[in-house]
Every structure is written in C-alpha cells, then in structure tokens.
Amino acid sequence: MAFQSLPGFRDFFPAEHAARRHIQSAWRGTAERYAFEEYDGPPLEPLELYIEKSGQEIVDQLYAFEDKGGRQVALRPEMTPTLARMVGEHGRALPKPIRWFSMPQLFRYERAQRGRLREHFQWNVDVIGEPDITADVEVLSVALDGLTALGLGPADVVARVNDRRLLESLLLGAGVPRDRLGGAYAAIDKMSREDAERTKQRLREDAGLGPDVVDAVLALFAEDLAGLRSIHGGDAAVAAEVDRLESYFTLLDEMGWSRHVEFDPRIVRGLAYYTGTVFEIFDRKGELRAICGGGRYDDLLSAVSDLQLPAVGFGMGDVVLGELLRERGLLPTSAPSPDYYVVTITEGERPLLRRLARALRGEGRSVSYTLRQVGVGKQFKDANARGASEVIVLGPDEVTAGVAVVRTMKDGTERRVELTELGA
RNA sequence: GUGGGCGUAGCUCAGUCGGUUAGAGCGCCAGGUUGUGGCCCUGGAGGUCGCCGGUUCAAUUCCGGUCGCUCACCCCA
C-alpha cells in the first residue's frame, strides 16, 4: 500500500522545487530592493485570531482542531492577523512606517481545484503606520515589481484598483442604507463573474435594496473616475474620494505603472477588514483567478492589539502565479546544474579529486563526481546527464605534469589548466 | 456539498467486440566503449490493468459498489 500526499498538498520534486525557489527568490529580492524587512510567525495560531477578523469565507475554510492542551487552534489561512498581532506586541518600539514582508505557507480546508489548493506560499508585503496614499502606492509598486522581476509586464498582467471609501460614499449617495453596505459589497464583488440579472437579484434580495436604489447603484458602474466626478462631484464625500484616487493614479504614473493599473469600481475584496484602497492583479487574458490581492486595513491592528496603526498590504500566492509563469515559459524546469564535474582516469587520482573538489567548493563553486571510481565513459555520461558546465579530467599523465584537462561540455573544447590555478 | 471525465510500467498513453505469456515511446540499469558525454545499437529490471464484489468455463475487458485523481459549479486566501 503506497502512500500519497493529502489532497490539495504538493510534493516538490527537484524540478518543481526549482520553480518554487525561482518565484520566492524574485519575491524576496524585490522586497529587499524596496528595503522591506523579512519576518515570519507560527504556522499554528489560536483559532480566535481569525474569528470575525478575517471574514466568514475564511473562517468556514479553516484547518482547525483542538490541540492536546485543549486549545482551539488553526493552521494560518492568511498572514495579516499574525502580522497585526506581532506589530501590536512590539510595534511601539519600531520606527514608522514599518516596512515588512513575509513568504508564509498558508492553509485552508477546501476542495482543491485549478489554481486553488489546500496549501500555498504567499508573498505578504505591508506598510504599517502611514495613512497617506503614498503608502498604498509603495505597496502596489512592490507587487508590480515582483511580477516584473519574474518577466511579467503590462501585456501580461493588470492591477485593477478601487477604494472602499469611494464606493461607500457612492453607495450612500445612491440611497443604500449604511447597515446594508456589507451586503451591497458582496454583490458588487461578484459582478465581474456573474451576469447583470444575477447582480440585480443579489442587490435586491441579499442586500435588501429597493428597485430604484438598485438601479442607482448599477448606474455607478458605467462610469470611469472622471464620469463619477462630473455626475456625483456635487457630493463632497464623493469628490474627496475621487481626488484621493486620482492622486493615487498620479503617483503610480510617476513610478512608471500607468500601463499596469486601471480603475475598477467592482473590486471590493472578500476580506472583512479592508477599509480603503483595494486592488487585485489579474492576467490580461482573464483566464486565471486573481494573482494578487491587497488593500488598506486601518482598523485591524486595534482589533487584535492595543495599538492603533493604519496599514496597507497585499498577498500574492504561488499557485496561480506559477500557472501563468509556466504557460509563458518563465519557469525553470530543472534543478540547478553543477559548475564542475571531476573525472578521474584511475583510482590513483581520487585523493586529488577530493582535495580539488573541496577547494573549489570553498570558492563557492558547485562540484559533482561519481562517488566510486567507474569507467571514464560512464563518468562523462553522468556529467552530461547532470548538466555540468565543465568537466575537470584528472589522469596520471596530467597529474605528473601538475595540470588538469578542463572540458567545456557544451562545445567539447578542452584546455590544460595548472592544478594550482584550480586551487588544488 | 452537486455534476461530468478519467484510473493499464516511474511518466505519457495504446490495447483487450471476454480467451493462453498485457504492449509502445520516454525514463532507469547494464553492455557495445578500461582516457571523453550527447547520437546510435543490444539486453535488462519494472505491472495484484485503483480496490471490493457480481455475472461467466474464463474478467484488465461486462455489471454494481467503492476509493482516488481531475474539471466545472458553489465559493474565493
């Protein structure tokens, strides 16, 4: 009886692990170029941390159980509550704004399907302690540069952005009662995936809006930012929010992202704690689920700690992103190959092989060889199979002369190199 | 949770209108090749044909169930 991995969980064989590492290296490198610091927290947290902080959707899909001490615990389904807790603990002592990132493995209990597993790695980047829109810009810029580092440009991906404060002012202006906003958000969030009739139905039945209010709400989504200003600009609350979003776009443009970002009032995000700007990044063809989602959550820290700090951040998962990159041929398909492969003609050169290999490794080069002395042809076959760039041949003749033959595998050229030059 | 598709070698898949010993390509191992890889040639290992039951002289094949994978729906980090 052979074992299998659990449904929705992945094995990372060397080729797949190389792909994962490629993605994570790009994430880490990008975050560090933006001078963000890496942190991590426990994969297991008190269940309570997620109840009513993350939204019902996430709570329903928690990997939760009771531990041997009788505690209700959950595998983390997202990183933000952990981040909020950690910042709440030591945030007072940290210079503001806090610029942190993490690449946690997250879990959720749900039927696995394309682009959606029970486990994934998610790049989280957050700016905490800065209410200004410049922080929102910084965060979205990191996300887009992460994708850029992986070879995805404006022809491949697009960030659709919105602001819940704008949406709120528009909905209130359209006659939606304040206590029905949540239901309206849920219906709007689904708009781009459903037909107009279904949306209407949701606004009426789920959000409990009257027919004229529903029509007023639907009319909002026919407009771009300028249209919203000219029609609803008389509403001071709307005008202020349009101003803010416009400056958001201006700053993004200054950073060079004008071709990557679009206004989309239907972007709401499912999570309960977003309070301001929200965005999602999609593949341009619209074939896949969202690659990345984020936004501003100014009240979450006060909900899980006694600190009150505004915050903005995003999460980008490796699953959908990996699918897109694989489609575009932007992922490595094999593990890294050795720089050198050492071949010995006879057993007599093995002591030299061991010394030479260690010396080269001491200089940071990767070195492989057959562990036992076998035929020279076999050693070369193995060097080839493992993709070695260069083979160092040690034979009695060369060793006597204090040299080695170095063969470049891709074109078969050989040259003689002094052993001392190789570090042996 | 609902519905569809698929389970044959490590991988991708043929095949069997029910019949003796189940195949290919790739991969792996060995040899051709004891001072030179890729290409080529030869040989080899590797299968309870997902599992359980039924029908039958005979089931990998037909039927029922079950488990698993997968896609879609629901929902959405």
Nucleotide with the nearest C1' to A409 CA = B37
The answer for A4, left when phi > 0, alpha when psi is -120 to 50, beta otherwise, is: beta
pLDDT confidence bin for A1, thresholds 50/70/90: very low
Most confidently modeled of A25-39, A89-103, A181-195, A373-387? Answer: A25-39
A6 part of a folded domain: no
How far, in Å, is the CA of A403 from the C1' of nucleotide B35? 15
Q: How far apart are CA A231 and CA A247, in angstroms?
A: 19
Q: How far apart are CA A327 and CA A323, in angstroms?
A: 6
pLDDT digits (tens, 9 = 90+) for A144-176: 999 999 999 999 999 999 999 999 999 999 999
How confident is the model at residue A2, as a pLDDT?
57
* A303 shares a domain with A394: no
* A232 shares a domain with A107: yes
Average pLDDT over residues A195-199: 79
How confident is the model at residue A36, as a pLDDT?
97
* A162 shares a domain with A117: yes
Contact between residue A314 and residue A291 where contact means Cβ atoms under 8 Å apart: no
Q: Does residue A213 register a pLDDT over 70?
A: yes
* A355 shares a domain with A323: no
How confident is the model at residue A156, as a pLDDT?
93
* A301 shares a domain with A363: no
Is the model more confident about A363 or about A92? A363
Residues 6+ apart with CB under 8 A from A302: A308
Nucleotide with the nearest C1' to A6 CA = B68
Q: Which domain holds residue A402?
A: 340-422
Omega cis (within 30) before A177: no
Q: Which helix (H) or strand (E) holds A213?
A: helix A211-220
Instruction: Return the half-sphere exposure (C-beta side, CA atoms, 13 A cut-off) of residue A31.
Output: 24
pLDDT digits (tens, 9 = 90+) for A231-278: 998 899 999 999 999 999 999 999 999 999 999 999 988 767 889 999
The strand pairing partners of A113, in sequence order, are A116
Average pLDDT over residues A214-228: 90
Q: Does residue A55 register a pLDDT over 70?
A: no
* A150 shares a domain with A238: yes
How far, in Å, is the CA of A377 from the C1' of nucleotide B32? 12
Q: How far apart are CA A297 and CA A100, in angstroms?
A: 15
How far, in Å, is the CA of A198 from the C1' of nucleotide B5? 29
* A178 shares a domain with A134: yes
**A83 three-class SS:** helix
* C1' of nucleotide B34: residue with nearest CA: A375
How far, in Å, is the CA of A344 from the C1' of nucleotide B51? 51
How far, in Å, is the CA of A338 from the C1' of nucleotide B27? 21
* A345 shares a domain with A387: yes
Nucleotide with the nearest C1' to A119 CA = B77
How far, in Å, is the CA of A1 from the C1' of nucleotide B55? 29
Q: How high is the ipTM of this complex?
A: 0.82
Residues 6+ apart with CB under 8 A from A215: none
How far, in Å, is the CA of A12 from the C1' of nucleotide B47? 26
Please tell me the least confidently modeled range out of A178-182, A370-374, A379-383, A401-405: A178-182
End-of-domain residue from the set A297, A327, A357: A327
Looking at chain A, the whole-number percentage of residues with pLDDT higher than 70 is 97
End-of-domain residue from the set A277, A305, A327: A327
Average pLDDT over chain A, rounded to an integer = 90
Nucleotide with the nearest C1' to A79 CA = B77
How confident is the model at residue A222, as a pLDDT?
86
**CATH number (domain holding residue A123):** 3.30.930.10
Q: Looking at the 3D structure of chain A, how many domains does it have?
A: 2
The token pair at A297 is 């959550």
What values do phi and psi take at A344, rounded to 5? -110, 135
pLDDT digits (tens, 9 = 90+) for A320-368: 899 889 888 888 888 889 999 999 999 999 999 999 999 999 999 999 9
Average pLDDT over residues A360-380: 94
* C1' of nucleotide B72: residue with nearest CA: A113
How confident is the model at residue A166, as a pLDDT?
95
Contact between residue A291 and residue A140 where contact means Cβ atoms under 8 Å apart: no
Give the β-pairing of A390-394 and A367-368.
unpaired
The token pair at A314 is 């995003």
How far, in Å, is the CA of A3 from the C1' of nucleotide B54? 29
For chain A, the C-alpha Rg in angstroms (whole number) is 28
Nucleotide with the nearest C1' to A414 CA = B36
How confident is the model at residue A52, as a pLDDT?
64
Nucleotides of B under 7 A from a protein CB: 1-2, 28, 30-31, 33-38, 48, 68-77
**CATH number (domain holding residue A348):** 3.40.50.800
pLDDT confidence bin for A375, thresholds 50/70/90: very high
Residues 6+ apart with CB under 8 A from A291: A147, A157, A281, A282, A283, A316, A317, A320, A321, A324
